[in-house]
Copies of this chain bind each other. A is one copy, B any other.
Amino acid sequence: MVNYNDIAKLANVSPTTVSHVINETRFVMPETKERVYKAMRELKYQPNLLARSLATGKTQTVGLVISDIRNPFYPELVQGVEEMAVKNDYNVFLCNTDYDIEKGVKSISALIKRKIDGIIVASSQVDSSILKQLTDTDVNFVLVDWCKRNIKVDSLYFDYKVGIAEAVSHLISLGHRDIYFIGGPKNLKTAEIRIRNFIDTIESYKDLNLNYKILEGNHKIDGGYETAIEMLKNKDLPTAVICSNDLTAIGAMKAFQSGGIKIPDDISIIGLDNIALTEIVSPELTTIELERYEIGKTAMEMLLNRIKDEKLPRQICTFKTKLIVRESTAESKKN
């Protein structure tokens, strides 16, 4: 492995000078500079970032903790983080928790030992043990779509409220008065929030006397499917259903269709996430958009700011969500 000494000898300078020309960190005579460059070229020098990191205490590396890259929620977020990172000469360690807090703790601990400059936690399974681990080690970090807002850490949120309010208002304007909501898994904070927001919105229309119900799903297709089958069995059909995520909505849609129910003629359906799938199913799904690429990009930016200045006041960023009307919603027949 060729190092500063080799270059220095060949260029007839000291290692110090080599360092300075490489980092442009103090004046060096143009001629000496050229000699150094020439030597580097001849030796095909490749800097050793490990050594540099050990000396400077900076690794130009961040960790990104997610639950499961196969979950269609993540790829765009990851892309956003990675692009912004590379643009700033950072590289990113990707860590899957597999929805397992234990694994999350281990990953974070590995990242810390690697002396990464910061961590983006977007695993949505962040609980107090992970939070404690992060704050205990005073590593830089930002939390994505984590729900306890009262905590004093850098964080980014989706404001589900707006999108859900738009969805409900859209349905109401179409004449719907019976609106059910299929929620996500019980232990998922973001799912809890979505339900909360739905209920709050519905209740704000108390003069309309809306009929609503919260049903259980699991944020996967099968969950939506089964819940809808159950509704069919019980003949308990509203005129519209809002789902906690798109997969649930797609599962429900399949179930209804298999039961001979026409969408949107007989029942309107709205999803949440706006994953690519929503434009592929038929009818195309009306859904609430989350800017996942944007939140990833911004999370990385936020982390960079934090790294640059640890004294920065705590940063918060909220992402509006908005309704995308497609084909799965229509006038209520009940009118």
Contact = CB atoms under 8 A, between A and B. Distances in A.
A5 to B, nearest CB: 15
Given A250-B280, A281-B281, A78 B54 contact: no
Interface string A309-320: 000000000000
A288 B79 CA distance: 27
A75 to B, nearest CB: 5
A82 interface: yes
Contact of A93 (B51, B91, B282): B91
Nearest to A51: B54
A268 interface: no
A70 B74 CA distance: 9
A47 B94 CA distance: 21
A206 interface: no
Interface string A31-55: 0000000000000001111110110
A110 B50 CA distance: 12
A107 B54 CA distance: 21
Interface residues of A, number: 46
Interface stretch (A13-21, A111-119, A142-150, A234-242): A111-119
Contact of A69 (B53, B75, B96): B75
A151 to B, nearest CB: 23
Contact of A96 (B83, B98, B109): B83
Contacts of A115: 48-50
A209 interface: no
Interface in A69-103: 69-70, 74-76, 78-79, 82-83, 86, 91-96, 98, 103
A131 interface: no
A277 interface: yes
Contacts of A114: 49-50, 61, 91
Given A54-B50, A221-B280, A82 B94 contact: yes
A59 interface: yes
A63 B166 CA distance: 43
A322 B221 CA distance: 25
B46 A112 contact: yes
A65 to B, nearest CB: 12
A191 to B, nearest CB: 21
Contacts of A86: 95-96, 103, 107
Contacts of A92: 93-94
A68 B221 CA distance: 25
A128 interface: no
A113 B49 contact: yes
Interface of A: 46-51, 53-54, 59, 61, 68-70, 74-76, 78-79, 82-83, 86, 91-96, 98, 103, 107, 109-115, 137, 221, 250, 254, 257, 277, 280-282
13 contacts: A49-B115, A61-B114, A69-B69, A82-B94, A82-B95, A83-B96, A86-B103, A86-B107, A91-B95, A93-B93, A93-B94, A254-B282, A277-B280
